Amino acid sequence: MPRKLKVFRTPAGFHDAYVAAPSRKAALAAWGATADLFARGAAEEVTDPALMEAPLAAPGEVVKRSRGTAEEQLAAAPAPRRAGTPTVPKKTTAKPAPRPSRTALDDAEAALDAAAAAAETERKALAQRRAALEREEKTVDRRWRAERRALEDARDAARERYDAALAKWRG
């Protein structure tokens, strides 16, 4: 006993493709589908007797019926392009956001430059003080060398007098 036939439908462009088949799998095979159109919601079982009549008359064959009239299909179609117009529709671009303010960056760079200039001024002042201290140190060294020579000469003279007095005392 042959299996009872069911009618299935899937959209195919401006048409609907109908097939009378015993199962969904058989309907998918008749349409040449490689994916499960029923799981995707792209195919369905038909129960309207008026739509089932033609597919049941030719079981296993795909029957195409136009979806709507020619006028309805033309009304749904996009408007024809004029010559010279781009194929891609123009995107309406939103007004770009204004450029971010650079004020904070400029202020930070100015503060950095001012601090660097102040540090350089301090370094120069320190270098001048260092040079003055080095000159003062040289003056102190010269004075010390001269004073030491004079004191060593005085010591040596005192030693000679002491040694002479000691030699005289010993006899």
pTM exceeding the 0.75 threshold for the entire prediction: no
Residue 109 and residue 164 in one domain: yes
Yes or no: say if 34 and 61 are a contact pair by the CB < 8 Å rule: no
Domain assignment present for 116:
yes
Yes or no: say if 6 and 51 are a contact pair by the CB < 8 Å rule: no
Per the structure, the complete domain to which residue 23 belongs is given by: 6-76
Residue 167 CB: number of other CB atoms within 10 A? 9
Residue 16 and residue 59 in one domain: yes
Q: DSSP letter for 85, please.
A: -
User: Where residue 38 falls among pLDDT bands split at 50, 70, 90?
Assistant: very high
43-58 pLDDT tens trace: 999 999 988 999 999 9
Yes or no: say if 27 and 19 are a contact pair by the CB < 8 Å rule: yes
Buried b (16+ CB within 10 A) or exposed e, 117-129: eeeeeeeeeeeee
Total number of domains constituting the chain: 2
Is residue 67 predicted with pLDDT exceeding 70? yes
Please identify, among 76, 91, 123, the residue that sits at the C-terminal boundary of a domain.
Answer: 76
Q: What does the block give as tokens for 148?
A: 């030491």
Domain assignment present for 84:
no
Residue of 85, 6, 74 whose CA lies nearest to 45: 6
Domain assignment present for 95:
no
The percent of residues in the chain predicted with pLDDT above 90, rounded, is 65
Domain assignment present for 127:
yes
Domain assignment present for 147:
yes
Task: Give Cα 82 distance to the centre of its chain.
Answer: 40
Of the given ranges (63-67, 75-79, 116-120), which has the lowest mean pLDDT? 75-79
Is residue 77 predicted with pLDDT exceeding 90? no
Domain assignment present for 85:
no
Is residue 12 predicted with pLDDT exceeding 80? yes
Domain assignment present for 96:
no
Residue 28 and residue 69 in one domain: yes
Q: Round to whole Å and give the CA distance between 136 and 14.
A: 105
Q: Round to whole Å and give the CA distance between 17 and 61.
A: 10
